[in-house]
Structure 1
């Protein structure tokens, strides 16, 4: 009887624990144009924190600053608990390669979520179902082919430059191409799994890279496990492109109508 192979995502985000220095390795399956897909790098950092013996609670927020390109191969994660109190923890993680050159700097907040008053202001977007939408064709970057994108609205279209920029809004279903039950790690990665909004506006694949990404989690691991889902409904948009930098913001929803995470990022582009 053959042992079941790990899911490509779990293989890509695998970490080896240490005292403060943990180790990881880039994955060709999640490679972008000039380095690893930022979402899987963020998920690898989050895995090290979730697996840390001193960790308490669930992820509340993760900010990742991509300082320099990550080369193919191994990397170190310097994990440090900066501050802890009765209800939250604040962590710092530096991803380095070679002679300790920092390529990625991250901070995270974990918290014990307790029952409280609640008010769900955001409304679940109107949408066609996952089954009613068609998968987007595969593209060159290997990371994108690990996901299945089903656009409800705002499909990326590459074509001749036009006088008016294209819409930057998209509504789509995102799932792992090889189905995998959604957890905090895949939720983190999917919060970055959007084509650059500048691609939509310019209708062209221009040089692009995330500089800083923050994801906020609006569920805990127990609630997310109870959702028992393999795909999310996502919306993504932008507010401004100015002097080589533009923002992106996103929402990730459960098919059952729960807002699971929101994210915002600033990205470099050349156009």
Structure 2
């Protein structure tokens, strides 16, 4: 006599992680991402750059350890070191795809901000304590702190954009981070190779890397729905504006002649910005390359989609 068939066992599903577990993992992810962003500076030994307003004579080896390279000559590097940490956290959440995405994104951003707050507090306390007193030192610290706080906010924005489910904000996050990411890689390469040790081809590659990143992001984002065309316009504008801003800030803050003279600094900044954004500034070819990559990639992906759908 045939034995009655036993009912098939139900598939065993893994229990979903609790909100507390996902939150803790996301905070840890944010902490690690922020540390990764700071790594190129920390691996140099993290000795503070020499300060023009330092209270006494000091050699580079005599300077204290700081978690950020506080100096007007490193303004753009500070932006890169902070924002890349936020971008890595956002990308990590996007790859992870947790069940409570908003919770995880917020916790990851909080972890990034906590590390940044500790680094900023340690660096400014250490450098501020070693400077000469007076209005010039106070103005110097206040200016650096204002720029650093803006960079911290940009890091949070990058994390939120890149972790978003929709392609449009994620592609916008790539556009926001393209230039800082190239600056971060250049800083990491120069720190590892030492003065004059970066190969010439790598130095040339940093100029074109933002265009490649933006172009790839636009191709991935695509044209549909039509509102995504706004992302194309904004990303191309960012690719045109941000390198000019980086160049302007680096040049103006690196010129000791006008440092502290806000009228002359403002005039110099406007002149450099106008020259960099103009037809001879070199932004045109970069934007054109990004647009070409985006159009070609989007067309190829659309053709592939139609072939698969047919």
When the two structures are superposed, what TM-score results if normalisation uses the length of structure 1?
Answer: 0.29
Structure with the greater alpha carbon radius of gyration: 2
Higher share of residues assigned strand: 1
Higher share of residues assigned helix: 2
